Amino acid sequence: MLAIIIGDAVTLWTSRLRTVVDVAKAFEPGRFSKYLVTNTRGKPITISAYNSSRGRWMRRAIEEGIVTRRFTLHDMKRKGATDSDLPATVSTGNTEQAAKIYDVSKLRAAATR
């Protein structure tokens, strides 16, 4: 697989993305599904199941010092849009107006003399 398709966007593989996917797959070795996060039947999980699991993952990550504070999916989307070399409309799959919410990068200007 060369990319992950999420809605209208195609995310190309990077070593960091491959690592995250490999870690996620290791939780359920031998289970095949086109979805990364699934229920026991290989179907996508419900939003309530995801939120419950995410809460446990977040508490554990804080306890183990992996992260220092809680963050949301919205925070992750903002980080991705801000760090991307692509315009926010492309990296988020949103309209230009909506993409402004996610891209919080600062304009960089060369210093004067």
Q: In the structure, what pLDDT confidence band is assigned to residue 31 with cuts at 50, 70 and 90?
A: low
| pLDDT tens string 59-107 | 999 999 998 999 887 787 777 777 777 766 666 666 777 766 666 666 6
- Percent with pLDDT over 90 in the chain: 10
pLDDT for the residue 93: 64
Burial (CB count within 10 angstroms: exposed 0-12, middle 13-18, buried 19+), residue 92? buried
Diameter over CA atoms, the chain: 64
CB 42 within 8 A of CB 31: yes
| pLDDT tens string 71-82 | 887 787 777 777
